[in-house]
Amino acid sequence: MRRRDFIKVVAGSAAVWPLGVHAQQPDTVRRVGVLIALSKDDPQSEARVTALQQGLGELGLIVGRNLQIDYRFGISDDELARAAAADLLRSRPEVVIANSPPAVRAVQAADRTIPIVFVSVSEPLALGLVANLAHPSGNTTGFTNLEPSLGGQWLELLKEIVPQIARAAFIFSPKGGIGPLFVGSAQEASRRVGVEVVAVPVHTPPEIEVEMANLGRQPSSGLIVPPDTLTGQHNRLIVQLAAGNRLPAIYAFRYVSIAGGLASYGPDVVDQFRRAAAYVARILRGEKAGDLPVQQPTKFEFVLNLTTAKALGLTIPASVLSLADEVIE
């Protein structure tokens, strides 16, 4: 295993980032639109915005000088995505960065020609967002997030972290379309690992609360939280519920461990936003999105939160500690 702030619009959180509204001559300013899955007040949203703008700045595209970026946040489902995309496209961006499958689908449905660069989207081929990874064609390309085989890896890691675990529940939103893919690979690994794998589809925060309480009443149970728009939007709630129900849990992203999650293993999303700047620059300079290959994650992180482990009464094996890229104490 390898190491590793506003103008609100309909129904969801949406904003134009203040740095992107300085007056400039229209014929000298390039315009980019960004749809971010998380809410505007989530610290990760600020981190992603900062990484993107730093990456663009390094390529000569500087907000307030020759670049304006319009942001919309909280794109957590298809309805919100359609409203946010329609509002964003009225600003006539030259490129749109989309940070969730609903965001990509909404822009594709609204405009089949505007270039789209998706960031941190799992299985774009399976979701029908692109026709081919090497030659996506159409108007869409981007950076993938996770592949289904990680379901088995999360299971193996959770077993190593908590050897006594006998049951692992995958909690996910069926609307995301990705959760079952991770469950499948975990089920394939379940016999080898000796842990029962249970799929727990949820649609709303109250359902999340009920299912996690039920799981907490079952001895030797753990939790695996693959990424989708619902679990991403409510990751802090899930962390709190895991603690309250004394459930050891593993997540896909470092920022969840920082927020109190026991462990995480997955790609660096902030790094993907920084890398996406290069594709945006190339498209603004004349290249076609469909000619740019979809890129896979290049940086994975395994993070352990020992404070959470202690609160759960867990002692992390030394062999697992040695694998961690970061240990939070």
pLDDT at position 69, please?
A: 98
Encoding tokens for residue 167? 């049951």
pLDDT at position 177, please?
A: 64
> Which residues touch 104 (CB under 8 Å, ≥6 apart)?
98, 116, 118, 121, 124, 129, 140, 142
- CA angle 257–99–93, rounded 5-degree value: 145
pLDDT at position 1, please?
A: 44
Distance of alpha carbon 54 from alpha carbon 162, whole angstroms: 39
Residue 214 to residues 223, 241, 246: CA-CA distances in angstroms? 12, 11, 12
Fold entry, domain 18-145+269-299: Rossmann fold (3.40.50)
Residue 258 to residues 106, 167, 249, 273: CA-CA distances in angstroms? 31, 25, 13, 19
Tell me the pTM: 0.82
Encoding tokens for residue 285? 């300079």
pLDDT at position 176, please?
A: 64
pLDDT at position 9, please?
A: 32
Please list the residue range(s) of the chain that carry CATH number 3.40.50.2300: 18-145+269-299, 150-267+301-328
Instruction: Go through the chain and tell me how many residues it has.
Output: 329
At what angle are helices 269-284 and 43-58 packed, to 10 degrees? 40
| Residue 305 CB neighbours (<10 A) | 24
Fold entry, domain 150-267+301-328: Rossmann fold (3.40.50)
Where the chain has pLDDT below 50, the residues are 1-26
Look at residues 300, 268, 288 and name the one whose alpha carbon lies nearest to residue 117.
288
pLDDT at position 202, please?
A: 94
